Amino acid sequence: MEPDESASPSVWRFARASRAHVVVDAADYYALMQKAMIAARQQIHLIGWDFDTRMHLGPGRRLWNLPRRAVAPARLGPFMIWLCERNRNLDVRVLKWNFGALKFIFRGTMIIDLLRWLLHRQIVFKFDGAHPLGCSHHQKIVVIDDTFAVCGGIDMTSDRWDTPEHREQDPRRRRPYSNKLYGPWHDLTMLVEGAAAGALGDLGRMRWVIAGGDPIKPCQPQRETAWPVHLKAEFEDVEIGIARTRAAWRGAPEQREIERLFVEHIARSKKLIYAESQYFASRAVAEAIAERMAQPDPPEIVLINPVSAEGWLEQAAMDGARVQLCHAIGAYDPGNRFRIFVPHNAAGTPIYVHSKVMIVDDEVLRIGSANMNNRSMGLDSECDMFIDAARAGNAHAAKPIERLRFKLLAEHTGMTVKAVQAALAENPSMIALIEGAPRTGKRLEQFALRELTETERTVADQALLDPERPEQLFEPFSKRRGLFSRSGLLSRAREWRRK
């Protein structure tokens, strides 16, 4: 059984990072990871919801210190083989959610890549099925040599690559299996160096053993790290907090640190919350927002969402819940200070939001794999990292957090960072900035609440695909407690709306 070493009910561990940096959108992330993995000396541990060996990390890369014929392959599959051939001491571990394992057969050349991985003595590939039925392994973590690590929302799979410009019909945004273009995609992740990376290494080793793998030895201490040489860090010498979600599994206890941390961060907000999430369907998060909005002088809350979830099943569950929760929060938000916006590119095409980030009062920055839905609070394995400028030794992190908020607002509104900063200096309202931004380029459109069909309302109310605990997946309808199950502000708001 995993030892209980939580720093608090809402934080697993605190550790300092010598450097930390937020990478926005996958184009930059993949290119940086190609460089970082080339610099690996002892071990690369990839932990993810999905991997597609056919995806391109970046261009084929010639290295100055190798013969001319030595070129790092662009595709993930042969790239990992190339790394191991180049460094015979490198140990590579890959942990992927076990759902959809059979679909690899239909991914063309991927089955060949996986066979090459499985036959290579330096690469160990494992499917993670260590969770109750209906739960998933959702973390997106990379650890290199226990000195450099990544945690966020970006998977190393297809249909993720994009630039902050999110151009219409970008020919580089192409599926490897069909050569067809896919739509604009927004995401982000965080790089850390030092003890914080070592903590994620510990988390990865524990997850590996729970999934049935043999114990992995920690890496030997080393002076150099895989931090990309030309990348200037936004944060230096900063404390990082780590929070997790995991359903109870055999001897491994349940972890709900992420849910508690969401509630704490929302409750402490004074002026503003800026957030991006793939979904907005969590009862706990919505209830915390409603409670804060019901108090005097509530903060302004801007949430960036996609216009709709992917797939009709997710649309029925997540989109319906979002509408229901927005109506419930509205009963406690007379000033209309809670808004959801959808990003569009310059051609007017909605940008799919896959990122998971929250900024509170330019004081707290949290980034990870957890969405604002019930699954991320209690079913799926998740990992979030956060920086809290209010903690001792972290005061210098406040300005970089503020600059990141300006940067994200600039990306979504089509404005420059300087223009965003100047506008917010004159009027600190993000809503006013968004509504007053030019409409000729990239822009944010307010999410429009629509009427739900009876089926959509039932699916949302019963939390059919997004329960708070694994056992609720298999409860009969007569026993389901659903989206408004617990006594609280949302339940009372729903009754108030009915009257």
Q: Are residues 153 and 262 in the same domain?
A: no
**In the predicted model, is pLDDT for residue 401 greater than 60?**
yes
Q: Are residues 294 and 415 in the same domain?
A: yes
Q: Are residues 363 and 470 in the same domain?
A: yes
Is 336 in a helix, a strand, or coil? coil
Name the pLDDT band for 179 (thresholds 50, 70, 90): confident
Q: State the Cα–Cα distance between residues 192 and 154, nearest whole angstrom.
A: 15
Quick one: pLDDT at residue 312? 54
Share of the chain above pLDDT 90, in %: 74
Which positions ≥6 away from 72 have C-beta within 8 Å? 34, 38, 60, 61, 62, 63, 79, 82
Quick one: pLDDT at residue 176? 82
In a domain, 249, yes or no: no
Q: pLDDT tens-digit profile of 204-231?
A: 999 999 999 999 999 999 999 999 999 9
Quick one: pLDDT at residue 100? 60
Q: State the Cα–Cα distance between residues 96 and 383, nearest whole angstrom.
A: 15
Q: How many other CB atoms sit within 10 Å of the CB of residue 59?
A: 11
The more confident residue out of 196 and 490 is 196
Asked whether the beta carbons of 212 and 126 are under 8 A apart, the reply is: yes
Nearest to 13 by CA among 201, 194, 242, 258: 242
Q: Are residues 159 and 259 in the same domain?
A: no
- In degrees and rounded to multiples of 5, residue 260 shows phi and psi of -65, -35
Residue-range definition of the domain harbouring residue 401: 254-498
In a domain, 248, yes or no: no
Q: Which of 363-367, 438-442, 446-450, 480-484 has the weakest average pLDDT?
A: 480-484
The more confident residue out of 2 and 232 is 232
Nearest to 399 by CA among 234, 241, 272, 276: 234
Q: Are residues 283 and 432 in the same domain?
A: yes
Name the pLDDT band for 493 (thresholds 50, 70, 90): low
Number of domains composing the chain: 2
Which positions ≥6 away from 168 have C-beta within 8 Å? 184, 345, 346, 347, 349
Q: At what angle do helices 489-498 and 320-330 cross, to 10 degrees?
A: 90
Q: 3-class secondary structure for 251-270?
A: CECCEEHHHHHHHHHHHHCC
Q: Which of 184-188, 314-318, 441-445 has the weakest average pLDDT?
A: 314-318
> Which of 239, 271, 286 represents a domain boundary (last residue)?
239
Q: pLDDT tens-digit profile of 238-281?
A: 999 999 999 999 988 999 999 999 999 999 999 999 999 999 99
Is 171 in a helix, a strand, or coil? coil
Nearest to 272 by CA among 355, 336, 335, 359: 359
Q: pLDDT tens-digit profile of 325-375?
A: 998 899 999 999 999 999 999 999 999 999 999 999 999 999 999 999 999
> Which of 182, 210, 239 represents a domain boundary (last residue)?
239
**In the predicted model, is pLDDT for residue 485 greater than 80?**
no
Share of the chain above pLDDT 70, in %: 84
Quick one: pLDDT at residue 94? 97
Quick one: pLDDT at residue 197? 98
What CATH code is carried by the domain that includes residue 423?
Answer: 3.30.870.10
In a domain, 246, yes or no: no
Q: State the Cα–Cα distance between residues 153 and 375, nearest whole angstrom.
A: 15
Name the pLDDT band for 480 (thresholds 50, 70, 90): very low
In a domain, 5, yes or no: no
Beta strands in 132-180 (DSSP E): 141-144, 148-152
Quick one: pLDDT at residue 478? 45
Read off the tokens for 338: 């809670």
Quick one: pLDDT at residue 450? 75
